[in-house]
Every structure is written in C-alpha cells, then in structure tokens.
Structure 1
Amino acid sequence: MKKAAVLVAGGKGTRMGGSISKQYLPIAGKPVLMHTLEVFYRVDPSIELIVVLPESDFELWEELVKNHQFTVPHHRVAGGNSRFQSVRNGLKSISFDEGLVAIHDAVRPFVKEEVVAASFEEAARSGSAIAVVALKDSIRKLTDDGKSFFQERQYFRLVQTPQTFQLAKIRKAFQVTELPQFTDDATVYEHQGWQVSLIPGNPENIKLTTPEDMVYADFLINLSKTPKI
C-alpha cells in the first residue's frame, strides 16, 4: 500500500512564550520539525511526506531547510484557520487516492519508529490506528457544582499521534462541516459511525508546548546519545 504522512505544524506556539513558533525551535541544533520528518523517513523513505504550515511561514521554512542542508524530501502545504482545516488541506494534497495516511503533530519529534510502523500495519488491517498510552496517576472527574469523583484509570487512555487511517475513509470523514467536538482526527473519523482501533504509543512522545517541554526534549536527545553499556 502507498503511504503518506501529514505533519501538522500550523500552530503559533503562544504558550512557548517566544517570538518563533515551536516547530522551528532547535533541539540539538536542528528545528523540531526536521527531527519529526526524519522519524517518518527512517520508517519508510518512500512515504509521501507533507508538512502543513502557515503560509506566512513558507519563506522562513525554506530558509531553515537551506541553512541546515536538510535533504529529507517533503511537500509544503498551507494550513487553515484551525487544525481541522489544516489536516483537510494536507489530505487533499496527497498525490494518490488509495493507501494509508498517518496524521501527526509536527511538534511530537520523539515518536518511536516502531509506533509509526505499527500504526500503518493496524490501519491497513482495520481502517484506523490511534496511538495511546495508559495513565499512571489517579484521576478524578469534576462536576459543574464543584464536586469531584474518583474514576478507574484503567478505563482511560491518553491520546497521542500518529493517528493513521485508510486514506479514502479519512478523506470522506473530513468532508463534513467542522464541529466543536472534533478535538483530534479520531473524533472526525468516529463521526462517521466508525470505531477506531488503538495501538500502544510511547510515553516520551509528548507534544512540545511549554518551555519546560523543551528542557525535557534536550534531556531526551542527550539520553539518546549516551552509550549503552
């Protein structure tokens, strides 16, 4: 099956507190987005890689690609006014009609290659594959009147990306009008009445959002360079 990956990098990263969007911030001397692209390229160099960026960032991205001599082949697509619209633009730009597509947050550069590969395998089998991790902490549900109630954590999962689908089905799902309950691609898919399949993600696959996350990112990079005994 043909494969594509849509890396969504449309955010401005206001919670990071800097003048540059988080997808362009350096980790180990290289922008976050480049690290993420490299993960998918290592899984399968034939994957059609699509980066969805704000159109106003095109020039900046091209300059970064040139300065870092970045050679991983990819296509650049303009994002929309929301994540839903940006993903839809990315899906429309894929050059084939039958195959698989992984939709991934560009600021999750620490997804394991095994997770990406497993997501394609499961999506080919069942139609979808959503990376999730189990909760470690106890959780409570808050009510509107200020009360809280214990919840059994084994019945909950934290949702990550990639979220991988058979291309024809997810394209059909994104033809609907955007709704507030569309918090990720899985909820758009479920809106069609289809059940999603879950696969194990990896805990370090966090979405880089705050300055503290960048400190953790540097730690993970340095850890990966430590010789194993």
Structure 2
Amino acid sequence: MNTAIIVAAGIGTRFGGDTPKQFVKLAGRPILSRSIEKFDLCDEIDSIIVVAASEFVEQTRELVEEAKFSKPVKIVAGGATRSRSTASGLSAVNGDDGVVLVHDAARPLVSVEDIRSVIEAAAKSGAACLASPVADTIKRVANGEIRETIDRSSLMSAQTPQGFRVKLLRRAFATVADVDNATDECTLVESLGERVSIVTATSPNMKITTQDDVRIAEALLRDDRTSIPLIGFGTDFHRLEAGGPLKLGGVAIDCDLQAVGHSDGDVLLHAVTDAILGALAAGDIGSHFPDTDERWRGADSRKFLEEAMRIAREQGLALGNLDAVIDLERPKIRPHIDEMRQTVSEITGLEIGRVSVKAKTREGVGEIGGSRAISATATVLLFAADRT
C-alpha cells in the first residue's frame, strides 16, 4: 500500500498576506487542492494524508470535502517544525508495507509521471528524491566577496515528493537525534548511512514561496493548457407540464408547456453549464446550485452559466466552440434558435458563429415524443484564453 503525505502545516512567512498560501487560489483553485489532485490522479497511490496547522485543520477538511477526491484523504494536525509535521503524517500511515511519499503542498505543479517514477525508485532502492540539475553558476561567498566557484556538474536541487519504504522512514525518525534541524526527509535517511536514489524531474515543479511565484505558476499552467484543449459534455432532462412559457436558451417561448424544475428549468443553459463544469473537472450543476437551496428556486439559469464562465475565466480559459442539441416534440423551436444562440453568445463571450444549437424530435416515441419531457445535450471545447 502506497501513501502520500502532503505537508501543508507551514505559516508561509515569506509569502505574506492574510491567507495561508496553501489556500491561495492558483488559476481559480487552492494551491493545496491542486497538490492533492496530482496524487489523487496517480493510480499507484492508495491513500493521502494531509498535514495541516492545527488552526487550519477544519478549513483543510472543508477544502477536501468540496473537492470530492476519489481516494481517501485523512487530515492530521502538524507540529512545530516541518519534520514534526511529517512525523505526524507518518504516524497516521497504516502498516509498514509499501512506499510513503512526502510532498510539499507548495509544489502543485508536480507531474503524475514524476510521482510514479519516485514510487518505483523508492520501492526498488528504499529511498528516492525528485530533483533537478542546478542551472545557475554557484558561488561560495564570504564577507560579501566570491571565494570560490563551485562545480555544478554534480549538483542537484532537491524537490518533493521524496519516497521511502515505510519501515525505513519510521526507523529514521526513531533513530536520528536532531530531527528538527533536518530540512527534508532525505537528510534523515542519509544520517542512517542509507543511499537515496535520484529521480530527475521531467516537468516544472517549482515551490511557491512568494506571491510572485503564484503568477509564474499560473503562466506555466496557461502554457500547459495551450497545447491541451479541454472538452466537456453536459446533459439535462426535465418533465413538462401544462403552463408556459417554456424557457430555452434564455428565451421565453410562448406555448402551453413549461418545464418542471427547481429553477426556471432551462435545459439548454443547464446542459451548457454542466459541459463547462465538466471540462474543468469542477463538479456539476447540482453541486454548485443544489435543488435543496431555496436561493435557486425559480432562478434564471443565466446565473448558472455566468458562474461556470467565471470559474473558467479564473483558470485562464475561454470557450472555443459549443454544440448543443435540444430534444422535444413541441413546440417547434426552429424560429427561436438564432435568438438562443445570441443569448448564449452574450453570456459566454463566444462569437455567435461558434455557437451551434439544433432541435430534434423523437417522432412520438417515449416521454419526450409524448411531449411529457424535454432534454438537451451540449459539448464544449475550452482553450487557454490567449488562444481563442
């Protein structure tokens, strides 16, 4: 069993500001959430332990619950030093088998591939450290003067995750006397005379220390998204009842039917909203606007789509195109389609030439064919905002 310990117990003195850096948003999502996500996406990781400062345990728990990670995530309180915090996380690891990874929450850009490589190396050799070659020329100085230029050919900059067989890391914490002065876990294991394998990082894995680092990390995320468009698919279904008007695409269509729903029942805007949230892996319309919340009773569905677009823009993304299909038997909506397209275009900022809305009937078959229900599906493509 492989476990990831994500250390998020620091107070971030150098970062400044009123919000601890692990909760600061990076392209729309908390730094800590992005760090946890990388381990959640790694098939080789079975469970995750987050070490938080005692005063932020509850806030960390709320963050984890909101993110809805697929793997079990346990929250524990940290200690006075980094090493003590890691020890708290290690004490929460079940059993002595497998590999344990220790990772700084402030490194949210680590790749799943590098995580996997560290696990493999640690399982084989006992201990492994993700690192990058030192690119700058290194000088030894004294009294404000250069005394020596260091040969950098054998120098590596240690990063995280650092991986260990569970028994080995437990022994290091139990044996090494000066635990509190260790700046990382590899130092403790080295003190035992054990060798630590190096895994060379294959992607940027910067540590966010200052507020300027957040802007740099966001630029790296945008560059990454530039070559990876995001695709989302959304669907919505409502029963119909006698009444009117029927809201579709923000347009009130005069007819003798209306959708049954907690909000205004606009299946087109709901499907588009769901598609955008899906592309962002940001939950669905029900998690953002639950039908148990009276605030959304009878709400204009434009608000839902506007919120989905706000989340996308916070992450530096914009729509590339949108294709939607409405399934209903009546009324005939073809005369209203261009108005729907215009409304969706205005809400999303997508030019109308990239908004496609089509209508289909079910030829009298089923609930939709009997005019007892209506549905819509939508597919969206998102790019980095500077690409659209």
TM-score, normalised via structure 1 length: 0.92
Structure 2 partner of 1:100: 99
- Residue 15 of structure 1 aligns to a residue whose secondary structure is coil
Partner-residue secondary structure (3-state), 2:11:
coil
Q: Using the alignment, how far apart are the partners of 2:166 and 2:30 within structure 1?
A: 29
1:59 and 1:180, CA in 2 relative to 1: closer, same or farther beyond 3 A? Answer: closer
Q: How does 1:62-77 map to 2 (within 5 A)?
A: 62-66=61-65, 68-72=66-70, 73-77=72-76
1:206 matches 2:168: no
CA contact (8 A) 2:98 2:165 kept: yes
| Native 8 Å contact 1:40 1:47 kept in 2 | no
Structure possessing the higher radius of gyration over alpha carbons:
2
What's the CA shift string for 1:176-203, capped at 9, x where partnerless?
Answer: 3334651111000011111211110245
Aligned match of 1:169: 168
Q: CA deviation at 1:22?
A: 0.7
* Residue aligned with 1:86, SS: helix
Equivalent residue, structure 2, for 1:154: 153
Q: What one-letter code is carried by the residue in structure 2 that aligns with 1:26?
A: K
Q: Residue 49 in 1 paired to residue 48 in 2?
A: yes
**Residues 190 and 196, structure 2, Cα contact 8 Å, conserved in 1:** yes
1:1-229 maps to which residues of 2 (within 5 A)?
2-44=1-43, 46-66=45-65, 68-72=66-70, 73-143=72-142, 146-175=145-174, 176-179=176-179, 181-202=181-202, 204-227=204-227
| Aligned 8 A contact 2:131 2:156 in 1 | yes
> Greater shift after overlay, 161-170 or 39-48?
39-48
Equivalent residue pairs, number: 227
Residue 3 of structure 2 aligns to a residue whose secondary structure is strand
Instruction: Note if contact 1:181-1:187 (Cα within 8 Å) is conserved in structure 2.
Output: no
Aligned equivalents of 1:88, 1:81: Cα separation in 2:
11
SS of equivalent to 1:43: coil
Contact 2:61 2:75 (8 Å CA) reproduced: no
Using the TM superposition, give the Cα deviation of residue 47 of structure 1 relative to its aligned residue in structure 2, in angstroms: 1.9
Counterpart amino acid of 1:207? K
Unaligned runs of at least 5 residues, structure 1 = none
Question: Whole-Å Cα distance in 2 between the matches of residues 8 and 148 of structure 1?
Answer: 37
17-26 or 202-211: bigger deviation: 202-211
Alpha carbon RMSD of aligned pairs, Å? 1.9
The one-letter code sitting in structure 2 at the alignment partner of 1:198 is: I
Give the conservation status (yes or no) of the 8 Å contact 1:132–1:201: yes
Q: Is the 8 A contact 1:84 1:178 kept in 2?
A: no
Instruction: Please report how far the alpha carbon of residue 3 of structure 1 lies from its aligned counterpart in structure 2 after TM superposition.
Output: 0.3
TM-score w.r.t. structure 2 length? Answer: 0.56
Post-superposition shift, 1:99? Answer: 1.0
The alpha-carbon distance between structure 1 residues 62 and 161, as it changes in their structure 2 partners (threshold 3 A), is same
- The change in CA–CA distance for 1:222 and 1:148 in structure 2 (over 3 A counts) is same
Q: Which amino acid aligns with 1:166?
A: R
Q: Shift in Å at residue 144 of structure 1?
A: 6.0
TM-fit CA distance, 1:63: 3.1
Alpha-carbon separation, structure 1, partners of 2:64 and 2:183: 31
Deviation at 1:226? 1.2
Quick one: distance in 1 between partners of 2:212 and 2:29? 18
Give the deviation of 1:224 after TM superposition. 2.1
Does the CA-based 8 Å contact 2:8-2:52 persist in structure 1? yes
Work out the CA distance in 1 between the residues paired with 2:134 and 2:196.
19
**Distance in 2, Cα, partners of 1:203 & 1:209:** 18
* Pairwise CA distance, 1:20: 1.1
Q: Deviations over 1:169-228 (max 9, x none)?
A: 111101133346511110000111112111102452011010110001111221222135
